Amino acid sequence: MVARVIPKSMRQRFPGLTTLVFCLLFCRSSFVYAQESPYIVTYDHYLEEPGSLEVEYFSTFGTQRGGNDFHAFWAEFEYGAKAWWTTEVYLAGQTTFNDSTIFTGSRWENRFRLLQREHIVNPVVYIEFENTSAADKILKEVEGHDVESDYAIPNAVLRKQHDHELEMKLLLSSTFKGWNVAVNPIVTKNLLPSEPWEFAYAIGASRPLALKASPNRCNFCRENFIAGVEMYGGLGDTQSPGLHNTSHYLAPVVAWNLPSDWTFRLSSGFGLNGNSHRLLLHWGISREFSGFGEAVRRLFGGRP
């Protein structure tokens, strides 16, 4: 965004200007303690606080039978546009060992809260447009007939295939006595007319290790840790629905929300059948910048 705000000629003449604008945006934002869920694949119904920007980095390490192991990585920029609307941009890449490191594409995700108040089950609509290559290996979700052998093909071949996909999820989530349970039915459509609709699911349950806060600021208090488990996999497609030739994972997950505004997440996904990678290790780090929207507004001369 900084690059869009400052013309190229200005950036060349004043190399420090980009840094200055970056600082004005982020330094005028304040950090806020985030209570992030530990899920990597599953979504609960909580959206980003309005005006806050969450910057996240995630990695996926995957083992690969019949090919090279890989490390995929992505950055997320998640902005709370309204209390009922969160919008997010992803940029992803991957390194396949003994092969190459490549940029694999971008995604634009939007989540809309449907109901004003809390209910037993809270629905949120998720719509994402993906502009990725077939070499994308972040495995943020597993869809249709995605299986391990799809990922054994060399990057040079995979990167030639570009996918434009629309992904829709219904995020159903409930929180009771500290437990969160989330169920996400997923539908994906490659925008090529010949491609079928693909189906998938993600379910998760999690709970903070302590439900009551301690009066003092602490890093290792049990209340700062949220642990849980998630399960995700494909459900076939319109041409061939069902569980045959699909992959599934079960992943214990944990999030550590530090008072210094950082959140660490770790998820170790174990393949549940022969079509799944044996191990998918996800980890991520994030930081929330509260008041980011306000800082941008002031930068453009908005009323203080």
Q: For residues 8-37, which are near another protein according to CB under 8 A?
A: 30-33, 35, 37
Sign of CA dihedral 253, 127, 79, 50: negative
Measured distance CA(188)–CA(200) in Å, rounded: 8
Figure out which of the listed residues 98, 215, 220, 244 binds another protein, where binding follows CB under 8 A: 215
Q: Closest CB to another protein among 31 and 283? A: 31
Distance CA 104, CA 162 (A): 9
Beta bridge partners of 165: 130, 190
Q: How many Å is the Cα radius of gyration of the chain?
A: 20
Cβ-based nearer residue to another protein, 212 or 244:
212
Residues near 225 by Cβ (< 8 Å), separated by ≥ 6? Answer: 208, 209, 254, 255, 256, 257
> CA–CA separation, 26 vs 240, rounded Å?
48
**Pattern 237-266, another protein, x by CB under 8 A:** ----------------------x-x-----
Stretch that binds another protein, among 12-20, 60-68, 136-144, 172-180 (CB under 8 A): 172-180
Bridge partners (DSSP) listed for residue 190: 165
- Determine which residue in the list 87, 245, 268, 273 makes contact with another protein, applying CB under 8 A: 87
Q: Is 9 helix (H, G, I), strand (E, B) or coil?
A: helix
The residue (of 220 and 300) whose beta carbon lies closer to another protein is: 300
Single residue of 69, 150, 163, 223 touching another protein by CB under 8 A: 223
Q: Which of 292, 214, 275 is nearest to 28 (CA)?
A: 292
For the segment 117-146, give every residue that binds another protein (CB under 8 A): 117-118, 129, 131
- Name which of 131 and 240 has its Cβ closer to another protein: 131
| Contact flag: residue 157 with another protein (CB under 8 A) | no
Binding-site member from 107, 111, 113, 287 for another protein (CB under 8 A) = 113
Q: Using CA of residue 231, residue 147, residue 274, residue 152, what is the dihedral sign?
A: negative
Q: Among 238, 135, 112, 250, which residue's Cα sits nearest to residue 187?
A: 238
222 binds another protein (CB under 8 A): no
Which span (16-24, 41-49, 196-204, 237-245) binds another protein, by CB under 8 A?
A: 41-49
Q: Looking at 40, 41, 47, 147, which residue binds another protein (CB under 8 A)?
A: 47
Q: Which of 117, 118, 257, 254 is nearest to 176 (CA)?
A: 118
CB 75 within 8 A of CB 56: yes
**Site residues (CB under 8 A) for another protein, limited to 262-281:** none
Summarize as ranges the residues that interact with another protein (CB under 8 A). 1, 4, 30-33, 35, 37, 44, 46-47, 49-51, 79-84, 87, 89, 106, 108, 113, 116-118, 129, 131, 164, 175, 177-178, 180, 191-193, 208, 211-217, 223, 259, 261, 290-291, 293-294, 296-297, 300, 302-303
